[in-house]
Each structure stands twice: as C-alpha cells, then as structure tokens.
Amino acid sequence: MDPTSRIEVDLDAVAHNLGVVRSTAPGTGVCAVLKADGYGLGAARLAKRLAAAGIEMLGVYTPEQARALLDLHISAPILMLMPIRKMERDDRLYRAASLGQLHLTAHDAGNLQALVEIADGLGIALPVHLEVDTGMSRGGATLRDASGLVARINEHPRLRLAGVFTHYASADIDRAFTMEQCERFAAWLDSEGKNIPKDCLIHQANTFALFRDSSTHARMVRVGLALLGYAGEEFADPEGFALGERAGELHGCVRWTSRIVHVKAIGAETPVGYGSTWKAERSSRIGLVPVGYADGYPLGLSSRSGEPPARVGVVLDAGIRGYAPVVGRVSMDQITIDLTDLPVDGVGVGTEVELVSMDREAPNTLPKLAKRAGTITHELLCRLSPRLPRTYRSGEVVGRSASVSLRTAR
C-alpha cells in the first residue's frame, strides 16, 4: 500500500534557485547551508544536485551533519559552523580535515586552542574560518578579540586562515542594523587587511542580506532558504531590499500532498474537532485528511474565530484545483476540511489534497502558512516529519528516498 502522504522536492527548482543566487551576487562563491538535514528536505539529495550544479561549498552545523555529507564522496569543501574541541583519528572527519575538505570554525580563544591541539595531535593542517561577532551576540569572537585570533592562526604552521565571516541578526526585518553590522565588519577587515590572506574567503550574507544590498556579498554568500525558493515573502520592509526583485525569481521546491480518507455530512450548528472550536453555519460536508501536528502541520493552523482559515488545495478529477478551509483544531495526525463548496461528484474519498503548494500565488505556500501559524518558513520546513516519505523530482526523473572544486571567488 502506497503512503497516503508525501513530500515532493523539486531538485530542478533548487538548481534554478542557485542560478538566481549567482546572478544576484555575480562573481562570488556560494556556500549552500544544509543544516538540520537540509532543513528537513534531505541534505544528501540536495547536496548531490547542488554539487552537479557546481556549488563552491556546503555548510553544516554539527559533526553528525558533516559526516553524512562526507559519506556522499562529494569533493566540495564542507564548512562546519559549530565549535568543536575534539577529533579522533578513527573519525571520518579526520581524513576530510587532513585533505582540506573539512573546514572548521574558530569562535574564541579556547575553541582555537582546541583546534591547535587537534592539528598538532593528529599531525594535520586545518583550514579554519574565524567567526567575527558584529552584533548577533551568539557564536563568534568579539571584534576586540578577533584580531588576536587572526594573528594566532597565521602564526601556527598547522592552521590556515581559509575564511573569515560574520552573521546578520535581523537582515529580514531591520535594514539599518544590518548595514551597521556590515560597516563594522568592513572596518574590522580594513584594519586587518595585511593579515588576511588573498585567498581567504570573506563571507557574511545570508539569504536576506543577499537581497538587502550588494555590499554584503563579499567573496562568498552563505545561503540556505533562498536555495529552497523562499525569501521575499518574509521581507518586513520590501522597499529596503535593493535587490528584492530578484527574490521574486526564486521557485519554491516543496509540495506536500495527502488524500481524503473519510467524508461526513453534518448539520448546521454541529461542532467539529477538539474543544468544539468550530461549528458549521450550514449543512456541510467534512473531509478527513490523515496529517496533523505529528507530521509537521502546525497546531497554529487550526481555525480561529474572526480570522481567515488556512486552506488546502483539492485536486478535482478534471484536474482543476479548488481550495477548502481547514476547520476545527488540528489533531496529532488528522485535520478536517470543509468540502461544502466543492463539487459533490468530484471530491470524495481518495481525492488528492495539497497541503503545501509550490505555486507562489496559492494560499497554501510555506511562507503563507508560516505567517498564519505565527512562525517562520525555516521552522515549518524543519518540522516536516521524517516519517513522511520524500520524493525527489529532477526533469522527468522521480526518485525516493558529481564532483566540484572550490573556485576562489573574486
């Protein structure tokens, strides 16, 4: 029996989005951030497609995420953003680091000392990226400490300063602070000019900074969400994005479908779902779809009095798509939708339901659902349950679940 629900990932859309990123920041390298298993979509499949498209670098956070990509034997370097303090010789990370494929991040003096001990203890040279904190106040070295760390890296024979970067705290909502961070970083880079090797990768732009201003592009941009096709929908001040129109060229890569498994006729004033939070205003047809918050369909998409409901696409037999509102409360593995305004003969048990659409104009795109649920697109992506099978589309090829070198950016 085939699964009732599935996530469809369009890999051609991902490759297209990489092209949009490149054309938005011409002459720069691109680091594809594939944290959290590629935002829940499958880092391995995304990495392979991006590698085939010539990605310069892959970014992850944890050692586990790095190991998963190393198993693919993709030659694109992998940047691990989490501070680490140990590495064993029998760890797959060791060989990758010794070959220069794995780049590590230095956050402070203690973390850098740990990297020195790893390099000396294992007898290997390590490519190191220094994170400089310009206002995120999360990871990274302060501006005052960062200069000393650059000197220590340059002095040590087994460390190579392969990159220097910062991270923007609010590029989606605050142009002024973003540009302030950009200026702080630029001033620090100017002060360290002679100490930064010519081949050192300077990177700072995340997805939102990419479209904010070209001054953030540097030698490499470090993006995740844009590669999946989402950005402009979350611009708090669209007029403040100098390159914002380019975000409109992105293609969403995610479609989530299920099927109606039960239909029930109810009378007016009949309550539906936990807490009886919704009552039919007329005789209605209610469809049951076997997905819920356990699958990643948020409780926040439950119907609420006085607010427009979330809607799902309903694919009719004739191929015409209608939309049905979600009514009542989202359950663990079920939602109820109101089918009353759709044709009786065309909608019933077995009818396909589109929970998430790739169509930017549809009411059920990920960004629109995220806004309705009071969250962000990143979170909805990461909440998609691993138990939902992923189907990957590339051209005419459908599959279930290359080799590139880092080009020095100008």
Q: Catalytic positions, please?
A: 35, 274
- β-bridge pairing 321-327 and 278-279: unpaired
Distance CA 49, CA 55 (A): 9
Strands 335-338 and 321-327: antiparallel
3-state secondary structure of 168: coil
In the chain, how long is the greatest CA-to-CA distance? 79
Residue pair 268/281 in contact (Cβ under 8 Å)? The answer is yes
- Residue 220 pairs with which residues in a beta bridge? 29, 203
Tell me the C-alpha distance between 35 and 44, whole Å: 11
User: From residue 270, how far is each of 267, 276, 282, 328 by CA, in Å?
Assistant: 6, 9, 9, 11
Query: CA quadruple 99, 60, 294, 327: dihedral positive or negative?
Result: negative
Backbone phi, then psi, for 46, in 5-degree steps?
A: -65, -45
| Nearest-angstrom CA–CA distance, 127 and 96 | 11
Residue 104 forms beta bridges with which residues?
A: 128
Cα–Cα distance, 95 to 166 (Å, whole number) = 27
Residues 6+ positions from 391 with CB-CB distance below 8 Å? 6, 7, 8, 9, 398, 399, 400, 401
